[in-house]
Structure 1
Amino acid sequence: METDHKLIIYQLLPRLFGNTQTLNKPNGAIEENGVGKLNDITDKALQEIKRMGFTHIWYTGVIEHATMTDYTAFGIANDDPDVVKGRAGSPYAIKDYYDVAPDLAVDVNNRIGEYEALIQRTHNNGLKVLMDLVPNHVARTYASDVKPAGVRDFGQDDDTGKAFDPKNDFYYIPGQHFTVPPGYNPGGDEFVSEQKDGRFDEYPARATGNDVFSATPSINDWFETVKLNYGVDYMDNRRGHFDPVPPLWNKVYDILNYWSQKGIDGFRCDMVEMVPIEFWAWVIPRLKAAYPGTVFIGEAYDKNKYYDYIFKGQFDYLYDKVGLYDAVRRLTCAEYGASTWEINSVWNHHCHDIDQHMLRFMENHDEQRIASGYFAGNPWLAVPGMIVTATLNTGPVMIYFGQEVGEPAVGSQGFSGDDGRTSIFDYSAVPEHQKWLNNGAFNDEKLSDSQKNLRGFYQTLLNSVLNNEALKSGSFYELMIANEREPGFDQLLYMYMRYTNDQQILVIANFNRSERYMRVKLPEDLLTKLNLTGEKQFTDLLSGTKFSTNDIKEGIDVKLQASGGLVLKMD
């Protein structure tokens, strides 16, 4: 399997990224709270993203999805608000796989052209483009109005009298009408629409996206979506019907092919474990044969399935949420009992032999902001975690826009309550990010000194990874066992060597909220392997600080700042 080491990914939602409005009214309309456009992602923005050390941008929420905003003037049918979450709508309730969200266009009639121009603009600035594939479910109002000639819509040829048929695109509950969850108030009290009546006309009812095979999903279900049928009979012990290939498989391949033709370099695939692995094993090699080098990233949470999705399903990378993210978060939040030995467990056990395939992050659109009161409450506390996240192995590292300036996601934004997340459902602003946005200037003019320094830390860290072969593609050697009996060692320190034959880098992260001093020793087998003897000097890639030792066999004395770390390149 080919991998493109090392991907350094910047995730951004165009709907939020370029928005300059500051009202941030809960449940506010697009006219009140504003919306970012694809055209807001200018050459200047892309140059600054590139300068920060990124290699890829994941444009999240580009495909047209269900919304409460009226675009009938442009020939786009309204969505029933009773099956839409938030005024803007969820980017993961796809309405037309072949179209672009009209919210994102300056000229709605040219929305696909504006996305094509952004793809080209991104490539011209030396960056690659990732976008979403949401394979498990679509909006209840799904209907493509711009699909290519000859394409059949999802469900267009279904036999709706059958609960399951491998030739159907959806699952049905025959003889029953779909029921909107009671108590749902779409858009809040201020939103008024003739269609807002607590009903949605769907007969027979279709199964809901989170595997609810009922006509009456709850308000806590993904009730605004319908599950797609890849040939798995859930009522018969999930028996698979994959020969012949179900029609849906070819339909999803055609969607991937459509966007690949436009220059997309890779796909972040939503909830891959809810789609049969047999499909991934069929579609990924097929698409890669047509578009070599295409990257597939899977959102996965069941560590017992990681090997299958990498080696059978042919994914290049999988989320490492139930692993490094959880361990680093516990350490960052100083949770009782948190230990850096948990990091050891990640790569040494559930990611054994596949660690290079794991995508690492400390924020994304699903997770809480580091600076929020629900996480660390202070973006600087993430420094040791980000050092480990970025340098532990050769797999990708991802930053979520606004993370680099300490966006705290304060307050309720509408459908998304006050939960420490930036809403993906509502028209809203990202206030700390807007300071860097600076009305399209993309500079640090309005940032505080602390924010400037935080951006500087991220830029230095990511460029260090990008520009040093030991961090980008080198081998890994953990130094915990070799140092656990050394004075100054504790279970909130984590240390390892990344190395090639020509370059050695010692990484030490301090999750303590106080300074630490210790002598870090390299074991004899590593010294022999790297042919290291005598006096050595090191430079911290993050600060430029020099360290030295008269005899590398005796170790190197280091001072570690509270919630800090060192990335020491051997000179």
Structure 2
Amino acid sequence: MTEAAWVEHAVWWQVYPLGFAGAYPEHDNGGLRRLDAWLDYAIELGASGLLLGPVFASETHGYDTVDHFRIDPRLGGDDDFDALVGAAHERGLRVVLDGVFNHVGRGHPAFQDYLAHGDDSARARWFRVRGRGTDHPELVTFEGHDALVTLNHAEPAVADYVADVMTHWLRRGADGWRLDAAYAVPPGFWAKVLPRVRAEFPEAYVFGEVIHGDYPTIVGMSTLDSVTQYELWKAIWSSLESANFFELSWALERHNGFLDTFVPQTFVGNHDVTRLASRLSEERHVPLAVAVLLTVGGTPSIYSGDEQGFRGVKEDRAGGDDAVRPPFPAGPAELAPYGRPLYRVHQELIGLRRRNAWLHRARTRTLHLTNEQFVYEAYADGRSLVIALNAAKEPATVPAPGGGTVELAPASWSVLTP
């Protein structure tokens, strides 16, 4: 495992800055400085850091980067970035950036040079082209999106460029990187880049977006600290929605195996998926999902707004992410009051997590399992917690540690003493 010791205590509050600031698809914002008023809110929630979405110059939504060395003008400039990082660090909040290094937008200077000069361009080999040198070359794009041109990760100059970008922003105060679409990049590419980054910044935390596949092998071959745990994300909401805790128990067994190699980055919501409160038809199940997230092994993140019960459905169409990436008000005081109960649930569970940092590497053991009741033990380093969930609409009696039983209210969770 390569992650720094401080990551054991990390709980991220994830923000998609372009949406948060109202900079995309709208253009009435305040840029990165819009976050200033929310830093104390993140602290009060219990978070230890900000996990930021793209902040670099792009053509539209941030994932079509045109300049990795420049803050998106819709979000401000270097001074605004420096001020945000400084204010976050003063409060003890770390900052992780989102790097899109699988592809770039067509406006990127390297690609524009290639368009202008073809194979005579000094950066012609920066991009993947099928049939290069023939009469019918075909540019490779990311998942069929013509606006996203795929980088050639076998080109040494691309590795140099990515290493330079990563170290540049770490020098400016960032504490780590989320690597977007890491699943589409050969793991060996990261194995070339990351040692160069860690030579100067050994404490940086770097994890990759990996949706499916052999997580441990990808981590081992890439030298990433971690990858996103989409298997567990799906099992948490799906087991609650379909009244099938057997799915969650099975996923946690898989999760135990991953923890032998690395600590996964865990979540129940992010900027790419339908919001949890919209995914679950029973509103009372939302706290149960959060309870699982914060009592099993992993490095957890809370997607901004989920702690208030924000709703939003992701749709497979142009602009289909907008509903899950909305603008936020100028400050927390403008939030609707009906989100407060769920916010307090998050505070309680994050507090439990922060008091028991060993949960970061905790394995789980199933103690009691039915379709709608689940009791499991989280354990590590000679310590343990027993967590009980009841997803039914009626009270349920489940076994308690040490013998006896405990009654759970409908749609409730409880932490039982071992």
What TM-score does the superposition give when structure 1 sets the normalisation length?
0.66
2:34 to 31, 40, 59: 40
2:293 maps to a residue whose letter is: T
Give the match's secondary structure for 1:286. helix
Matched residues in 2 for 1:556 and 1:49: separation?
Answer: 40
With over 3 angstroms needed to count, the CA separation of the structure-2 counterparts of 1:476 and 1:227, relative to structure 1, is closer
Does the aligned pair in 2 maintain the 1:10–1:400 contact within 8 Å?
Answer: yes
Q: Which amino acid aligns with 1:14?
A: P
**Aligned counterpart for 2:303 among listed residues 400, 403, 406:** 400
- Equivalent residue for 1:422? 324
- Structure 2 CA distance for partners of 1:208 and 1:344, relative to 1, 3 Å: same
In the alignment, structure 1 residue 516 sits paired with structure 2 residue 403: no
State yes or no: 1:447 paired with 2:380. Answer: no
Q: Residues 263 and 154 from structure 1, CA distance in 2 versus in 1: closer, same or farther, beyond 3 angstroms?
A: farther
For 1:136, give the aligned amino acid.
N
Decide whether aligned partners of structure 1 residues 379 and 96 sit closer, same or farther in structure 2, where only a CA change above 3 A counts: farther
1:478 is matched with 365
Query: Separation in 2 of the partners of 1:136 and 1:501?
Result: 38
SS at match of 1:357: coil
Q: Is the 8 A contact 2:118 2:124 kept in 1?
A: no
Q: Where does residue 2 of structure 1 map in the other structure?
A: 2
Cα shift readout 1:124-159 (whole Å, capped 9, x = no counterpart): 11010011111110001112xxxxxxxxx4675898
Q: Which runs of structure 2 are paired with 1:523-542 in the superposition (5 Å)? A: none
Query: What is the DSSP-based 3-state SS (H/G/I as helix, E as strand, rest coil) of the residue aligned with 1:281?
Result: helix
Report Cα offsets for 1:106-126 as digits up to 9, x if no partner: xxxxx1111111111111110
Shift of 1:402: 0.8
Compared CA separation, residues 92 and 113, structure 1 to 2 (3 A): same
Quote the Cα distance in structure 2 between the aligned partners of 1:117 and 1:176.
Answer: 50
Q: Is the 8 A contact 1:160 1:172 kept in 2?
A: no
Kindly indicate whether the alpha-carbon contact (under 8 Å) linking 1:517 and 1:558 is maintained by their aligned counterparts in 2: yes
Shift in CA distance, 462/28, structure 1 to aligned 2, threshold 3 Å: closer
Mapped partners of 1:329, 1:247: distance in 2: 42
Q: Any conservation in 2 of the 1:385–1:509 contact (CA below 8 Å)? A: no
Counterpart code for 2:33: N
Q: What secondary structure, in the 3-state scheme, does the structure 2 residue paired with 1:349 have?
A: helix
> Does structure 1 retain, via aligned residues, the 8 Å contact 2:287–2:342?
no
Give the alignment of 1:210-359 within 5 angstroms: 210=143, 221-231=144-154, 246-304=156-214, 306-321=215-230, 323-333=231-241, 335=242, 338-349=243-254, 352-354=257-259, 357-359=263-265
Q: Tell me the residue number matched to 1:53.
A: 46
The AA in structure 2 aligned to 1:386 is: V
Residue 11 of structure 1 and its aligned partner are, at CA, apart by 0.7
How many aligned residue pairs are there? Answer: 412
**Alignment partner of 1:14 out of 17, 24, 38:** 17
- Superposed, 1:356-435 pairs within 5 Å as 357-372=263-278, 375-377=279-281, 379-393=283-297, 395-409=298-312, 415-417=318-320, 421-423=323-325, 429-430=326-327, 434=328
Which structure shows the bigger proportion of residues in strand conformation? 2
Match of 1:139 among 97, 102, 105: 105
What residue number does 1:85 align with? none
State the SS of the aligned residue for 1:360.
strand
Matched, 1:98 2:69: yes
C-alpha RMSD over aligned residues: 3.2
| 8 Å CA contact 2:106, 2:112 repeated in 1 | no
Structure 1 gaps, min length 5: 22-26, 67-88, 106-110, 144-152, 178-202, 211-220, 232-244, 424-428, 484-488, 522-551
- SS at the partner of 1:387? helix
3-state SS, counterpart of residue 405 of structure 2: strand
Helix, strand or coil for the counterpart of 2:257? coil
- Call closer, same or farther: CA 1:252–1:500 in 2, change over 3 Å: closer
Q: Counterpart of 1:41 in 2: which secondary structure? A: helix
Q: Report the residue type matching 2:396 in the other structure.
A: R
Counterpart of 1:209 (choices 142, 151, 156) is 142
Distance 2:301 2:171 in 1: 25
Q: Secondary structure at the match of 1:461?
A: helix
Question: For residue 161 of structure 2, what is the amino acid of its counterpart?
Answer: K
- Whether the 8 Å contact between 2:393 and 2:410 is mirrored in structure 1 is yes
Task: Give the secondary-structure state (helix, strand or coil) at the position aligned to 1:371.
Answer: helix
1:282/1:404 CA distance change after superposition, 3 Å:
same
Q: Is the 8 A contact 2:49 2:95 kept in 1?
A: yes
Q: Is the 8 A contact 1:8 1:54 kept in 2?
A: yes
Q: By how many angstroms is 1:405 displaced? A: 1.0
Which residue of the partner structure matches residue 84 of structure 2? 118
- What letter matches 2:219 in structure 1? I
User: Runs of 4 or more off by more than 6 Å in structure 1?
Assistant: none
For residues 381-413 of structure 1, give each alpha carbon's deviation from its aligned partner in whole angstroms, at most 9, with x where no partner exists: 2211211122111x211111111111112799x
- AA aligned opposite 1:492: E
Distance 1:137 1:275 in 2: 10
TM-score (norm 2): 0.88
Measured after TM superposition, the shift of residue 205 of structure 1 is 6.2
Structure 1 counterpart of 2:205, which letter?
V
Q: Is 1:170 the counterpart of 2:93 in the alignment? A: no
Assess, with a 3 A threshold, how the Cα gap between structure 1 residues 415 and 176 changes in structure 2: closer, same or farther. Answer: farther
In 2: Cα distance, 1:567 partner to 1:130 partner: 31
Give per-residue Cα distances to partners, 1:183-217, cap 9 Å, x unaligned.
xxxxxxxxxxxxxxxxxxxx97632122xxxxxxx
Q: Which has the larger radius of gyration?
A: 1
Question: Structure 1 CA distance, aligned partners of 2:417 and 2:195?
Answer: 39
> Percent same amino acid among aligned pairs?
23
Cα deviation 1:60-102 (Å, max 9, x = unaligned): 1211111xxxxxxxxxxxxxxxxxxxxxx12110011111111
Q: 1:517 to 1:420 in 2, by over 3 A?
A: farther
